[in-house]
Amino acid sequence: MKFIHIADLHLDTPFTALSKQEELGDIRRLEQRKIFSKIIEHIKKEKIKYLFIAGDLYEEQYVRKSSIEYINNLFKTIPETKIFITPGNHDPILKNSYYANYEWSSNVYIFNQDITIYEFDDVDIYGYGFNDFYLKDSQIENIGIKDKNKINILITHGDLNASPITEMQYNPLNENKLKKIGFDYVALGHIHKKMINENIVYPGSCLALGFDEIGEHGMMEVELEKNKLDIKFIKLDETEFVQKNIDISNIYTEEELIEKINNEKIEENKLYKIILIGNKNIEINKNKILKILNKKNILKIKDETKIRLDVENISEQNNLKGYFIKELLKLKEEKGYSDEEIDNAIEIGLNALQD
């Protein structure tokens, strides 16, 4: 059998991290729709009979009915494809959710908080969905496979090898226990980075949601037979989030810093977070620099430099920064703090005063 495995589209997420350009969130939300349309077109072209959506298809708190109608209309265009959805922690099957109160296309199967089996001639498909934003014990690890001669697939949203004692739990699953059950393929969602552990698979998020999701994003196309597995990753997101380090040890003015960042090689189809490293010779106003830069796809600047400021000179200034450093230097003498401790305190304090 051949199927597509996706997860974590997070349709209608607000993209609050993309704050530099107000319209960028709208653009990324449109790209979410385009990517979903691309998935459906691929299924049509390849005549794929199964689509597995392993949670967080949409954002429960933000999703619009028009978005639900958009994806459901796409589902209707592939009537020969069976679509299985397991609600996740961002789109749980709540009493008033669209999963519970919307008339989905007849080829859509939605799992709930009870472990359910859909039985077909060649395959049994097991699944479990969130019914709340957190999930402690799904009992998935206690499943007994009904017919081991058939292909057996599990679809769920969960946190593989997570600690079961953490306060906020998202269906913690033990890898070894899952393998002992004997599924031929475990289709997971929740982790936004693609991970393949033999037949236990996270496809990653369909598109990057922020700078903590660097690298390629897309879907898994899987061909599965009994004792034979072929997994192919297909890239969907044309935009990549990138972190770029810039050493500013030899920069002594704000103008030099802006010029250095502007001269960096920046690719148009990527969104950048600039990380400043090295020794700091100047005070850095990140918000001001972002506004002046001519590279509009640089969205964030993070300062990870080590402080090398003329603190004695700043302490003589008649302003809040001068008073702050003067007090720290006094504390250093009175309490015996180390140079490193005082430098760290100065750096944190100056950054806070400029934000």
For residues 198 and 227, is the Cβ–Cβ distance under 8 A?
no
**What pLDDT is attached to residue 147?**
96
pTM, to two decimals: 0.84
Which string of DSSP letters, residue by residue, matches 213-252? S-S--EEEEEEEETTEEEEEEEE----EEEEEEEE-TT--
Per DSSP, the chain holds a count of helices (H) and strands (E) of 9, 19
**What pLDDT is attached to residue 23?**
81
Lookup: tokens for 228: 């034979």
**What pLDDT is attached to residue 333?**
84
Q: Rounded distance, CA 306 to CA 276, Å?
A: 10
3-state secondary structure of 148: coil
Q: Rounded distance, CA 171 to CA 132, Å?
A: 11
Which amino acid does the sequence have at 238?
E
> Which letter, b or e, does each residue of 267-278 get, where b requires 16 or more Cβ atoms within 10 Å of its Cβ?
eeeebbbbbbeb
**What pLDDT is attached to residue 22?**
63
Lookup: tokens for 164: 């079961």
Q: Rounded distance, CA 122 to CA 1, Å?
A: 8
> Would you write out the chain's pLDDT as a tens digit for each of its 355 residues?
999 999 999 999 988 766 556 688 888 999 999 999 999 999 999 999 999 999 999 999 999 999 999 999 999 999 999 999 999 999 999 999 999 999 999 999 999 999 999 999 999 999 999 999 999 989 999 999 999 999 999 999 999 988 767 667 999 999 999 999 999 999 999 999 999 999 999 999 999 998 889 889 999 999 999 989 999 999 999 999 999 999 999 999 999 999 999 999 999 889 999 999 998 888 889 989 998 998 888 999 999 888 766 677 788 888 888 888 888 888 888 888 887 787 778 877 876 776 5
Taking the CB of residue 76, how many other CB atoms lie within 10 A of it?
14
